[in-house]
Amino acid sequence: EQIFHEFNPDESRTRVYLAGGSGDVKYHLGTSSDRILANGKQMHLSLVANPSHLEAVDPVVVGKTRAKQFFTYDVDRRRTMALLLHGDAAFAGQGVVAETLELSDLHDYTIGGTVHVIINNQIGFTTDPKHARSSPYPTDVAKCVGIPIFHVNGDDVEAVVHVFRLAIEYRQRFRKDVVVDVFCYRRHGHNELDEPSFTQPLMYKKIAAHPTILQLYTHRLVNEQIVQPSEVQQMRDQHMRRYEISFRNAPNWKPRDSDWLASHWKGFKSEFQLSPIRQTGVDRDVLMRVGRALCRIPESLHIHPHLKRLLEHRKQMLEGEIGIDWALAEQLAFGALMCEGTHVRLSGQDSERGTFSQRHAALIDQDTEERYVPLDHIEGDPPGQFRVCNSSLSEYAVLGFEVGYSLESPRALVMHEAQFGDFMNGAQVIIDEFIASGEKKWRRQCGITMLLPHSFGGQGPDHSSARLERFLQLADDDPDEIPAELGMDNRMQIQRANLQVVNATTPANYFHVLRRQIHRDFRKPLILLTPKELLRLPECRSPLADFLTGTRFHRLIPETDPEIATGEKTRRLIFCQGKVYYELVAERKKRQIRDVSIVRLEQISPFPYDRVAETLSAYPKAELVWCQEEPKNAGAWFYVQPRIRTTLRGLIDEAHGKHRVVAYAGRKPAAAPATGIYTIHVAEQKELIDQALSDEPLPVTV
């Protein structure tokens, strides 16, 4: 009934479960079912929702399988298995296939073998194999990992069954991937309306004259006197009656929320159910308990001398001698979540050490290369487990894997870290199809967190930008409407958004935004721009008090210097995000400027209209400036400008909002994100700081 219902032209029925979303074509939707096998045992089958981007779902399925194995304690990886269906052209042509195969035997990504089934139609839409691949077989790409490949004639039913049984037995015994290449044909066109004889006339003349599989197998069974023709007809009639009954009942089928939310997600809120805002601060004793594990190592472990100094430095921070830095704040967040029973998984290229040698989540013995993970040794054996994973040199497949992992259960903080944020455009398909739009299309919440190093430090066009503008362009909030005007509680704004974009500028705010991902009754993708230069900047520290019970994440941080003029005495109010804040503050201090206030937008999307409105009202006569490091056609400028304008329009006191506009201070539009010449970078950075702190009013574009 559910399948036939999808063909019902009465769209109002499907809108029951698509409220607030876009839906998707019927053959993209995922589903699940419990099947009773011939031996009486029950098997749960789960079909992952997938886009038309061929093979993009492969790593998602593998990641979800790994998560299922983790949460069901399937340590030998024999109770949960992944089955991937491929087309011959896509298996050979899509690079993510090879990326996913290369994950198959990696310690932190293996699932004990995937069964790959290729429906080899000997054609890709209208393209013949001779134009679609350079290898004899579409399966040759799988030879890179040395797994068995079975080729079988799709017309031989019993041979197909035999090969599938053999493939499953191999997977279960050796826990390796296996490929079954079903050599067959496509009887009709690429879809039901396509005419294949335009491009393959000879092939389709042969197919038209070729008996169907049912006809061939029936003929064989009758000839071998295994069945009578009447028995075959009886079985066909029985199936047709079942279809007819289901077709007639389809209009009465009613979708339920339980059809779209897995049992692990029971109790989690939809976008129309208010989830309470919770504080994310932690009791001092818990932080000290985590901190002791981070500073203490076995006497038998011989670590690098530099790391000994790092551990001493951590002790000083925990004792309050100096503020807590970025790396320690991160591991305190991880450890505190573990103490609460949350599984924490961090995955990416060089994530154990950290691209910038800041994390050192795993310490290596200098004599034996033994690996020691401090968070695995928190006192009291916390219920949550920690996994930090150095991934293969892949963005597409590894991000897809972690998205799949996060889809399985909301009780895990799953993070994918880019080596540099610039490289994430290699995974744009996963970002567009699963992260930005997956919930709206398929009603599947996803709590994936992306850590993207982003800042302009003169390292060139490929080591500067996480392409903030692209994520903001994917945000689905309306720049011309304030949530309050829609009758929406500000607390629900983030629930109705499709994703969050944050650039925290303090270790404490980073700590809280990570914990916020878990401490609420819904899940939402978090795009988190992370620092490079700020990792060791003395000014970028947070006192221990900012982590304790009663504290929380700040979407906007107002001016913090008590010596700066406030209210009507302020000449200019600068909004910014990220590292440029510290450069503005340093230069303001150097020039002894007292009438320019600097405000940090920590959560860029969803836009914090309420906090921005409070700030604008507090500075009624100040000139408004947005300052950014990124070029004008990049960064957050195009996103924040119309939203600040909308906020000004919505101010109750017209004197605070009337005729006020926001000016731009930053780099000019550019094709490349950043210059590759350091002296030019320095000059550009100086120019944008000069613009932001200039004495003269800046030009504005209305």
Instruction: Indicate the average pLDDT of the chain.
Output: 93
DSSP helix/strand/coil, 187: coil
Residues 119, 85, single domain; the answer is yes
Specify if 665 maps to a domain.
yes
The torsion angles phi and psi of 534, rounded to 5 degrees, stand at -75, -15
Residues 116, 135, single domain; the answer is yes
DSSP helix/strand/coil, 179: strand
Per-residue confidence at 275, pLDDT binned at 50, 70, 90? Answer: confident
Average pLDDT over residues 188-210: 93
Domain range for 640 is 556-693
Specify if 498 maps to a domain.
no
Alpha carbon distance 288, 515 (integer Å): 17
CA atoms within 13 A on the CB side of 523: 27
Alpha carbon distance 497, 513 (integer Å): 16
Report whether pLDDT(424) > 70: yes
Average pLDDT over residues 542-569: 96
Specify if 590 maps to a domain.
yes
**Residue 44: strand pairing partners:** 34
Average pLDDT over residues 179-188: 96
Give the per-residue pLDDT at 125: 93
Q: How many domains does the chain have?
A: 3
Burial of 403 (0-12, 13-18, 19+ CB in 10 A): buried
Specify if 276 maps to a domain.
no
> Model confidence over 214-224: pLDDT tens digits?
999 999 999 99
Residues 582, 539, single domain; the answer is no
Residues 158, 201, single domain; the answer is yes
Give the per-residue pLDDT at 652: 62
Residues 213, 335, single domain; the answer is no
Give the per-residue pLDDT at 485: 64
Task: Give the CATH number of the domain where residue 655 resides.
Answer: 3.40.50.11610
Q: Are 165 and 152 in contact (CB under 8 A)?
A: no
Report whether pLDDT(140) > 60: yes
Q: Is 65 left (phi over 0), alpha (psi -120 to 50) or beta?
A: alpha
Give the per-residue pLDDT at 655: 55
Per-residue tokens: 408: 């399985």
DSSP helix/strand/coil, 389: strand
Per-residue tokens: 53: 């981007």
**Residue 117: strand pairing partners:** 85, 180
Per-residue tokens: 191: 């879809």
Last residue in a domain, options 512, 547, 582: 547
Residue owning tokens 């404490």: 508
Per-residue confidence at 13, pLDDT binned at 50, 70, 90? Answer: very low
Amino acid letter at 334? F
Report whether pLDDT(258) > 60: no
Alpha carbon distance 337, 127 (integer Å): 52
CB atoms within 10 A of CB 121: 18
Of the candidates 522, 23, 45, 5, the residue with the CA atom closest to the CA atom of residue 255: 5
Residues 566, 507, single domain; the answer is no
Average pLDDT over residues 160-176: 98
Q: Dihedral angle at the C-alpha atoms of 219, 223, 226, 232, nearest 10 degrees? A: 30
**Angle, in degrees to the nearest 10, between helices 213-223 and 157-174:** 100
Specify if 541 maps to a domain.
yes
CB atoms within 10 A of CB 278: 13
Percent with pLDDT over 70 in the chain: 95
Residue owning tokens 């506009």: 661
Last residue in a domain, options 238, 265, 292: 265
User: Which stretch of DSSP H or E encloses residue 232?
Assistant: helix 229-249
Amino acid letter at 192? E
Give the per-residue pLDDT at 702: 62
> Model confidence over 499-538: pLDDT tens digits?
999 999 999 999 999 999 999 999 999 999 999 999 999 9
Residues 543, 592, single domain; the answer is no
Residues 534, 573, single domain; the answer is no
Alpha carbon distance 593, 105 (integer Å): 59
Alpha carbon distance 103, 108 (integer Å): 9
Residues 309, 179, single domain; the answer is no
Give the per-residue pLDDT at 21: 77
Specify if 170 maps to a domain.
yes
Specify if 279 maps to a domain.
no
Average pLDDT over residues 475-495: 82
Burial of 417 (0-12, 13-18, 19+ CB in 10 A): buried
Give the per-residue pLDDT at 259: 55
DSSP helix/strand/coil, 205: helix
CA atoms within 13 A on the CB side of 96: 25
> Model confidence over 566-580: pLDDT tens digits?
999 999 999 999 999
Give the per-residue pLDDT at 16: 46
> Model confidence over 435-457: pLDDT tens digits?
999 999 998 999 999 999 999 99
Residues 507, 648, single domain; the answer is no
Give the per-residue pLDDT at 12: 45
> Model confidence over 621-670: pLDDT tens digits?
999 999 999 999 999 999 999 999 999 988 865 555 567 899 999 999 99
Residues 511, 431, single domain; the answer is yes
Q: Are 113 and 178 in contact (CB under 8 A)?
A: yes
Give the per-residue pLDDT at 520: 94
> Model confidence over 48-98: pLDDT tens digits?
999 999 999 999 999 999 999 999 999 999 999 999 999 999 999 999 999
Q: Are 338 and 382 in contact (CB under 8 A)?
A: yes
Task: Give the CATH number of the domain where residue 327 resides.
Answer: 3.40.50.12470
Residues 543, 561, single domain; the answer is no
| Dihedral over Cα of 118, 120, 124, 128: its sign | positive
Give the per-residue pLDDT at 3: 81
Alpha carbon distance 93, 97 (integer Å): 8
Last residue in a domain, options 230, 265, 300: 265
Selected residue with higher pLDDT from 255 and 367: 367
> Of the ranges 125-134, 227-236, 247-256, 349-358, which one carries the lowest mean pLDDT score?
247-256
Specify if 701 maps to a domain.
no
Task: Give the CATH number of the domain where residue 122 resides.
Answer: 3.40.50.970
